[in-house]
Amino acid sequence: MKTALPSLTVQLKLERDQLDAELQKYVRMSAIVFVDIVGSTSYYEKHGDLEGFVMVQRFFRMLTPLVEEHHGAVVKTIGDAILARFATAEEGVRCTIAMQRAMARRTNEKPEEHQIRIRAGVNIGMVVVRQDDVFGDVVNAASRIINSAAPDEILISPAVYDEVQQLPGIPVSKKAAGVELKGKAERMDLYEVMWRQEEKAIVPPPRPSAKQVGLATGFHKDIQSLWDNLKMSGGLKAPSTAPPSKPMHAEALSLALVRADGTLAQKFSLAKPLVLDAKAQLRPEASSADGPISEIGVARFTQKGDEVLVEDTGIPGGVFMRLTQVHTLVEGDTVIVGRQRMCFQPVPKPCMVLTGARDEELDRFPLDSPSVSFGRSRATHVFAKDHFMSGSHARIYQGPSGFVLEDLNSTNGTFLRIRPSTNAKIKSILLAGEQFLQVVAS
């Protein structure tokens, strides 16, 4: 008897789903910063190639540490320009302010012929991060923004302004409306950050329109085009639609208790299913002569091949798994950031609902910006007394398919509640009730 092959429509749907899942691994919400030297060409002509090269390298050595101090990463240098990536718009903008001030201090100490002036452009949105490079419309827009900047200027996109407009120490004025940027079909408004200590914005510009924010972030475009461009450049390979090969022998796995300092304690073999009860006792699942007894109010762990099936049958507090990649939120998703427990509520207005120990509502955080972050110091919503949070711990941004949760390389991780089961791979970290666990090799 022959097995019926799936229709072409089904095959195409499966392939698209696989492409989307693969692409999601590379797509990130990032602030992109371009900084370059104004007049470097004339400097080379006047002082010669050697002295020009030395000047540019001195410029890189001065500004690169500032990127790191503001929790960013230098993606690459291009001629006399620096391309850097940051987790938040605030970090990117504050870094460019620090750069301009550092250059101003240096300029005041040098004769006019050796003065160096810089300009900067900042944008934020969806980018594709591959190895040590970034791609996408957001990157291209940032490079166009800097081309509109005059010496000593910091220009930002509408999306960046929407992120920083209410932050202290970042005065902003509107540079120009409807600026034509090379390669962009529609005109974009640009804003200027006033970085000198004595400068202040008399009247902050109004909040940019959703259309302007969309132009900057690239949310109005289909990110499939990014995938196609990367495949054409040989950067990525499309995943095969063939079924994965099965391993001959699955590795024996265990669950290890995790101490408060992050080290592993006792290990429990998963040769037989384990349960964690309300008293945080990890033990083999109860059984009778007729087989395992399904217990209620516990977390159950069963090895299935090279993964562990994790089930929540009502353990107090629930079962959570630490995020290792971005996650598109659905209604009712519960996350733990630091010590804060929040639930995603998409209607009537998308928000994260902060809940207490008895699931009572404590506060609401609207998701009305392209990116909303949570942290102990550098975030949209600050929890200064939560010492389990990192400075910038996690954020939620508007992705092409909805709101996306991303951990920002926090120390203690961001956790998502399973509903009602999930598969955990080796090295996965779980929180069941009040107990942290890790899947390890036996």
pLDDT for the residue numbered 209:
84
Tell me how far apart the alpha carbons of residues 5 and 255 are, in angstroms, rounded to a whole number: 40
Other C-beta atoms within 10 Å of 257: how many? Answer: 17
Residue the block writes with tokens 């200064």: 384
Tell me how far apart the alpha carbons of residues 425 and 96 are, in angstroms, rounded to a whole number: 41
Question: Are 187 and 74 contained in the same domain?
Answer: yes
Residue 278 inside a domain? The answer is: no
Residue 32 inside a domain? The answer is: yes
Report the number of distinct structural domains present in the chain: 2
Residue 178 inside a domain? The answer is: yes
Question: Are 38 and 152 contained in the same domain?
Answer: yes
Residue 108 inside a domain? The answer is: yes
220-248 b/e (C-beta count within 10 Å ≥ 16 → b)? ebebeebbeebeeeeebeeeeeeeeeeee
Question: Are 224 and 328 contained in the same domain?
Answer: no
Residue the block writes with tokens 């005041």: 108
Residue 163 inside a domain? The answer is: yes
Tell me how far apart the alpha carbons of residues 272 and 264 are, in angstroms, rounded to a whole number: 21
Question: Are 351 and 204 contained in the same domain?
Answer: no
Question: Are 28 and 149 contained in the same domain?
Answer: yes
Tell me how far apart the alpha carbons of residues 406 and 396 are, in angstroms, rounded to a whole number: 6
Question: Are 227 and 363 contained in the same domain?
Answer: no
Question: Are 115 and 223 contained in the same domain?
Answer: yes
Q: Show which of 202, 232, 262 is a domain's final residue.
A: 232
Residue 271 inside a domain? The answer is: no
Question: Are 30 and 150 contained in the same domain?
Answer: yes
- The CATH number given to whatever domain includes residue 389 is 2.60.200
Question: Are 198 and 334 contained in the same domain?
Answer: no
Question: Per the structure block, which two tokens stand in for 352?
Answer: 């994260």
pLDDT for the residue numbered 1:
47
pLDDT for the residue numbered 8:
62
- The CATH number given to whatever domain includes residue 121 is 3.30.70.1230
Residue 9 inside a domain? The answer is: no
CA distance readout (Å), 424 to 7, 244, 274, 296, 419: 32, 18, 14, 21, 13
Please spell the DSSP secondary structure of 242-308, one letter per residue. Answer: SPPPPPSSPPPEEEEEE-TTS-EEEEEE-SS-EEE-TT--EEEPPEETTEE---SSSEEEEEETTEE
Low-confidence ranges of the chain (pLDDT < 50): 1, 222-224, 226-227, 233, 235-248
Sign, CA torsion 324/329/335/338: positive
Question: Are 228 and 366 contained in the same domain?
Answer: no
Q: Show which of 207, 232, 257 is a domain's final residue.
A: 232
Note whether 285 and 335 are within 8 A (CB).
Answer: no
Residue 293 inside a domain? The answer is: no
Question: Are 351 and 205 contained in the same domain?
Answer: no
pLDDT for the residue numbered 292:
56
pLDDT for the residue numbered 208:
87
Question: Are 89 and 217 contained in the same domain?
Answer: yes
Whether the model clears a pTM of 0.85, i.e. scores above it, the answer is no
Tell me how far apart the alpha carbons of residues 91 and 89 are, in angstroms, rounded to a whole number: 6
307-335 b/e (C-beta count within 10 Å ≥ 16 → b)? bbbbbbeebebbbbbbbeebbebeeebbb
Q: Show which of 169, 202, 232 is a domain's final residue.
A: 232
- The domain of 375 spans 324-412
DSSP 204: P
